[in-house]
Amino acid sequence: KAGVTQTPRYLIKTRGQQVTLSCSPISGHRSVSWYQQTPGQGLQFLFEYFSETQRNKGNFPGRFSGRQFSNSRSEMNVSTLELGDSALYLCASSLVRTGAYEQYFGPGTRLTVT
Amino acid sequence: DAKTTQPNSMESNEEEPVHLPCNHSTISGTDYIHWYRQLPSQGPEYVIHGLTSNVNNRMASLAIAEDRKSSTLILHRATLRDAAVYYCILRPHGSSNTGKLIFGQGTTLQVKP
């Protein structure tokens, strides 16, 4: 079974631009969560989607948004990029939304904002 | 959100067992204890999880204290490939926060040949 895939793997953008990252969960998984990882803040939760609805959101500004499609694939968007948005963005999928199930992470998208 | 406390770093010799501790004194009755690890330049990888009883899988064992306020991840024979940051996380069951993993700083495990 294929794992979580994220595209693109690497991205370089200029301050002020916007970016869209894509995540394809493991087949059959319906929950998708997004995380940001930086050297200073570590791994921080961005948001979670289940059945095309955002179920939870972390403490990030409104420039960060996401959505989930009917096939469970998810995208996240960051508008008006700032230098501080440079990070590794990770997507994780889970079969369902319970603590009894684990999350499986993708390899991440490395975003560099110049 | 219930928090966990782990040592910042640990060292182990190759082929010896490693016991990685985690304290979670504010755990609630419906919180599952999850462990993930992150190898350099990779996304986190699921290791093991449990609720009350000890758990074993091909990667590791999880020993949970009777009062559930602490747990220990056991790598039976450490290899160089086990050098990673290990995260102990509480994941609520049946809660609106269940999809939100709260990562602490984790324990950086160094394995010496």
Contacts of B44 in chain A (CB under 8 A): 43, 90, 92, 105
B23 DSSP assignment: E
User: What pLDDT, on the 0 to 100 scale, is given for residue A112?
Assistant: 98
Cα gap A75→A77, rounded to integer Å: 7
Question: What is the mean predicted confidence (pLDDT) over B69-76?
Answer: 97
pLDDT score of A17: 98
Between positions 81 and 100 of B, the ones with CB within 8 A of A are 87, 91-100
Q: Assign A97 a pLDDT band (cuts: 50, 70, 90).
A: confident
User: pLDDT, tens digit, for every residue of A101-114?
Assistant: 889 999 999 999 99
Neighbours of A107 (CB within 10 A): 16
Q: Average of pLDDT values for B15-41?
A: 93
Measured between beta carbons, which residues in chain A are less than 8 angstroms from residue B42?
107
Is the pLDDT reported for residue B51 higher than 90? yes
φ/ψ of residue A29, rounded to 5: -80, 135
Q: What is the pLDDT of residue A69?
A: 97
Q: How far apart are CA A67 and CA A72, in angstroms?
A: 9
The closest CB to that of B98, out of A90, A97, A108, belongs to A97
Q: Which of A103, A104, A109, A110 to mutate to test the interface with B (most CBs of B within 10 A)?
A: A103
For A24-49, how does the pLDDT look when each residue is reduced to its tens digit (9 = 90+)? 999 999 999 999 999 989 999 999 99
Residue A99 has pLDDT above 80, yes or no: no
User: What 3-state DSSP class applies to A73?
Assistant: coil
Question: Is any Cβ of chain B less than 8 angstroms from the Cβ of A66?
Answer: no
* pLDDT-based confidence at residue B1 (cuts at 50, 70, 90): low
pLDDT in tens, A52-89: 999 989 999 999 999 999 999 999 999 999 999 999 99
Q: Which residue has the higher pLDDT, B99 or B103?
A: B103
Instruction: Give the phi and the psi of residue B59 in degrees, each rounded to 5.
Output: -90, -40
Choose among B32, B49, B100: nearest Cβ to A45.
B100
Count of A–B CB contacts within 8 Å? 70
Q: What pLDDT is stored for residue A66 in this prediction?
A: 97
The answer on pLDDT for A1 being more than 70 is: no
pLDDT tens for residues A13-24?
999 999 999 999
- Residue A62 buriedness (CB in 10 A; 0-12 / 13-18 / 19+): exposed
